[in-house]
Amino acid sequence: MINSLKKKIELSELLGEIESNFDSEKITKKLDLLHSKSKAHVIGITGSPGAGKSSLIDKLVRFIRKKKKSVGIIAIDPSSEKSGGALLGDRTRFLLNPSDNEVFVRSMASKSFLGGVSEFTYPSMIVMRSIFDFLIIETVGVGQSETFIKDISDSVILCIQPGSGDTVQFMKSGIFEIPDIIVITKTDLNNLSDITYADLSGSKSYFQNNNKWEINIIKTSSSQNIGFDQLYSEILSRWKWLNIGNRKKKLRIKQDEKWVEKNIIKEFGDRGLKKIKNTISCKRNPFSTLRKIKNSINF
């Protein structure tokens, strides 16, 4: 919960500072501290352009707010070069109430970090994860950014528009490990949603990921506000599942390590990573780990 406009402004300033001053010791320490205080269920939402992601988020956020839970949103805009727009929310994407202090939207430009997503998405996720009950990240599923969403989310929702050919594309592309929940969007629009549903259900065994979580398919309509109670309860089941044993912990440590590795590759190339790979351990403090590695490497 952030409760007040003042806190919202502070959060927005901190996110800005991360972008302008990421390598400073002060920011590194702050990020590690917030990393240890994680709270939110991080939900990545992906799908082809126009599949209905933002509309779905809009309705889902309303549903979450009715349950009196707070929610942060990171919207990754592949076309924009400028980040920001945090304070009042991004009106072009979501029609959320700007005076609701329990909802916070951050738009991020996708600069050319590996995977086509802003390199600040990860640290911003860490900050917002420590504050809200839910953190939703929207990204357009184009190429590599699809796998990137898996690297920063606890759960990935893949949106598929009925009759869009996405079903076939999806199966062909072999990205079976991406979704944890599949949503068929715009089911008010045409009768193809039943066919899409049957298609996907029939091939469920292909995209069953190997960690025993069962992927369910949910039908929604954002324009008619249908399916959001099912989607919400599926999200809660997933969270419950992740919190059994050390599933969530393991998943997040892997993500931390991957993020550190990506940063090393970005700066020192594959050769650099090879040299230090065995020394990376991110059980805690990934940000100072990265900083230390960067400062110690001398090629």
Which of residues 50, 98, 163, 272 is near ligand GTP by CB under 6 A?
A: 50
Rounded to the nearest angstrom, the gap between the alpha carbon of residue 244 and the centroid of all alpha carbons in its chain is 21
What mask of x and - would describe binding to Mg ion in positions 53 to 92, judged by CB under 5 A?
xx--------------------------------------
Residue with smaller CB distance to Mg ion, 107 or 187:
107
Closest CA to 47 of 76, 81, 85, 89: 76
What tokens were used for 163? Answer: 């009759």
Where on the phi/psi map is residue 79: left (φ > 0), alpha (ψ -120 to 50), or beta? alpha
What mask of x and - would describe binding to ligand GTP in positions 169 to 198, judged by CB under 6 A?
----------------xx-xx---------
Task: Please tell me the distance from the alpha carbon of residue 259 to that of residue 235, in angstroms, as a whole number.
Answer: 25
Q: Least CB distance from residue 229 to Mg ion, whole Å?
A: 23
Residue with smaller CB distance to ligand GTP, 36 or 169:
169
Task: Please tell me the distance from the alpha carbon of residue 117 to that of residue 123, in angstroms, as a whole number.
Answer: 12
Is residue 28 a contact residue for Mg ion (CB under 5 A)?
no
Residue with smaller CB distance to ligand GTP, 36 or 225:
225
For 96, list phi and psi in degrees, rounded to 5.
-80, 155
Is residue 185 a contact residue for Mg ion (CB under 5 A)?
no
2-10, 50-58, 204-212, 276-284 -> range binding Mg ion (CB under 5 A): 50-58
Within a 13 Å sphere around the CA of 287, how many CA atoms are in the beta-carbon half? 22
Chain positions 209 to 228 lying near ligand GTP, rule: CB under 6 A, are: 221-223
Torsion angle, CA of 23/106/136/78, rounded to 10 degrees? -80
Chain positions 125 to 144 lying near ligand GTP, rule: CB under 6 A, are: 140
Q: Least CB distance from residue 186 to ligand GTP, whole Å?
A: 4
Within a 13 Å sphere around the CA of 5, how many CA atoms are in the beta-carbon half? 5
Residue whose pair of structure tokens reads 């202090």 in the numeric block: 101
Q: Least CB distance from residue 160 to ligand GTP, whole Å?
A: 11
Report the partner that residue 155 touches, choosing among ligand GTP, Mg ion, none (CB closer than 5 to 8 A by kind): none
Footprint on this chain of ligand GTP (rule: CB under 6 A): 47, 49-55, 140, 185-186, 188-189, 221-223
